[in-house]
Structure 1
Amino acid sequence: MRKIMYGLLVAVFAIALTACGGDEESKDKAQEADKQKAGDKTEQAEKMKEMKKKLEEQQVKEDKVVALVNDSKIKGTEYNRFLERYQMQFQQMGQDPTSKESAKKMKDQIIKSLIDYEIVIQEADKKGYEASSEEVDKQFGDFKSQFKDDKKYQEALKQYDLTEEELKKEIAESIKYTTYVEKEIQVEEVTDQQAKDYYAKIKDSQGDKAPKFEEVKDQIKTQLQNQQKQEKVAEKVKKLKKDADIKVKI
């Protein structure tokens, strides 16, 4: 109301007052805006601090055994590393990772992922699959080359709570896992008809915006092939679990 009345008075009495009063009001507005911004920043900083504290409370002690797979220990270090990634994913999807429901969902998914991965690694070891030093060095070099300089690379290691030695170990296990899946899990080749059927669903949802079939045929076939592979891996893991001694400790 005060601002409306001020505008009317300026219009009636003099143009000179418009400039003077306008400047004063602009100052008021600027000061109010600055105060609001400062208040918002403080409030946002407090919320971020509170959220960070809640996220950290979900972590477990690094040396704590969270699960046993045939006497092989999965420890808190691995769990926390996965936890941070899941927390980020939940936040990116607009979900609160600290809610009771989200916390349980994350824990269950992380434990399952860690156990499934360990089951496959153990089977790969039994089959004699290994990652050569050349393969590890190549993938390590590819990873490191993504960063502008060594400082950025070191920051990334710190973010994921990894040493360079641990990173190379993870790369080696990843290669072992991938090699096992490629050699031991066989799937049928995706036919043109299967690709066309999948494309029809894309066409239905995107209409005229959908690309031509020939432009995406290879991409669709690769996607369907990967889906089949994932399903087969899940089936294999399910069978391996039946003969495994698995104990969840959290």
Structure 2
Amino acid sequence: MKKFIMLALALSLAIVLAACADDSAEENEGSEETEENTSEQEQEPSSEQAQEPEPVEITDEEKVDEEAAVVSVNGDEIKGNKYNPIYSQLKMTMQQSGQDTSNLDQLKEQTINVLIEQQLIKQAAEDKGLEVTEEEVQSEFTTLKEENGEQLSAVLEQFQLTEENFKNQLADDLITQKFIDSELDTEVTDEEIKETYDQLKEQNEEIGELETVEPQLKQSLKNQKVQEQLQVKVKELRENAEVETLI
């Protein structure tokens, strides 16, 4: 469940990272093997980071009033109570990956992009009749709290989130997942897994038997499909959206 906590926190960032990944398709394909080969190794450090929180410094200048409108998306205003947690997570993620976080205007713009794309997905999901109830959010949160205990508290501390902040974000993540399940084709075929395995085997003969690595390959390929298809969906939605930045 530790991985799910980090996934819940990372999903909103993943949306904007996918949407902003305007590099060429060839560049993406070139990185696939590396990502697949190292995905399992990368997850463990994330868990370690969750156990040893290193809160990022957020100055008063960087924070937005909880009730202040930050951006309007098709008439829906998003406020500071959603902006601040995403800003903190984005800054920490960049800092931990060794990226420069001194450009506060850039951080603000990236955070606003996350919020815009989050809201666009939420609106698209609602248009399809999809919704997440308070009961679903509370049930998911209770399960996470029961199964993770101190580790959940460590993650909240690391990302400077209150339980209410986390529940709000969890609701957004759950509706995103429902949208993915309902609207995207993320099925991975045996042929795709075998083709990817053969490519990796050519690069590294010690990769292990197909049966051993198949679950990781399947998940990696599914994540790739989600990212690619979300990128297309978000781009379409944004082209037709009325967006106004208010800060």
| TM-score of the superposed pair, with normalisation by structure 1 | 0.64
Which residue of structure 2 lines up, in the alignment, with residue 212 of structure 1? 209
Check whether the contact 2:66–2:79 (CA below 8 A) recurs between aligned residues.
yes
- 1: CA distance, partners of 2:73 / 2:144: 29
Which residue of structure 1 lines up, in the alignment, with residue 16 of structure 2? none
In the TM superposition, what is the alpha-carbon distance from 1:89 to its structure 2 partner? Answer: 1.5
Unaligned ranges ≥5, structure 2:
1-53
Which residue of structure 2 lines up, in the alignment, with residue 81 of structure 1? 85
Matched, 1:138 2:142: no
Which residue of structure 1 lines up, in the alignment, with residue 197 of structure 2? 199
SS at match of 1:128: coil
Which residue of structure 1 lines up, in the alignment, with residue 123 of structure 2? 122
Matched, 1:183 2:185: no
- 2: CA distance, partners of 1:177 / 1:134: 17
Equivalent position amino acid for 1:223 in 2: S
Structure with more of its chain in helix, by fraction: 1
The two structures, once aligned, show a CA RMSD in angstroms of 3.0
Check whether the contact 2:121–2:234 (CA below 8 A) recurs between aligned residues.
yes
SS at match of 1:97: coil
The alignment of Structure 1 onto Structure 2 pairs a total of residues equal to 192
Equivalent position amino acid for 1:129 in 2: L
TM-superposition CA deviations, 1:117-153 (whole Å, max 9, x none): 101111222222222455323211122121249xx84
Which residue of structure 2 lines up, in the alignment, with residue 70 of structure 1? 74
- 1: CA distance, partners of 2:74 / 2:201: 48
In the TM superposition, what is the alpha-carbon distance from 1:223 to its structure 2 partner? Answer: 1.6
Please give the residue correspondences for 1:1-250 in structure 2 after superposition, counting only pairs within 5 Å. Answer: 52=57, 55-98=59-102, 100=103, 103-145=104-146, 146-148=148-150, 153=153, 160=159, 162-187=161-186, 189-205=187-203, 207-250=204-247
* Shift in CA distance, 216/134, structure 1 to aligned 2, threshold 3 Å: same
Equivalent position amino acid for 2:172 in 1: E
Equivalent position amino acid for 2:188 in 1: V
- 2: CA distance, partners of 1:115 / 1:202: 37
- 1: CA distance, partners of 2:155 / 2:228: 32
Equivalent position amino acid for 1:243 in 2: N
In the TM superposition, what is the alpha-carbon distance from 1:166 to its structure 2 partner? Answer: 4.5
TM-superposition CA deviations, 1:95-118 (whole Å, max 9, x none): 3312x3xx4543333222211110
Report sequence identity in percent. 33
* Shift in CA distance, 216/66, structure 1 to aligned 2, threshold 3 Å: same
SS at match of 1:58: coil
- 2: CA distance, partners of 1:235 / 1:125: 18
Equivalent position amino acid for 1:136 in 2: V
* Shift in CA distance, 107/165, structure 1 to aligned 2, threshold 3 Å: closer
Check whether the contact 2:118–2:172 (CA below 8 A) recurs between aligned residues.
no
TM-superposition CA deviations, 1:48-73 (whole Å, max 9, x none): 9xx947x5533333333221101111
- 2: CA distance, partners of 1:167 / 1:214: 37
| TM-score of the superposed pair, with normalisation by structure 2 | 0.65
Unaligned ranges ≥5, structure 1:
1-47
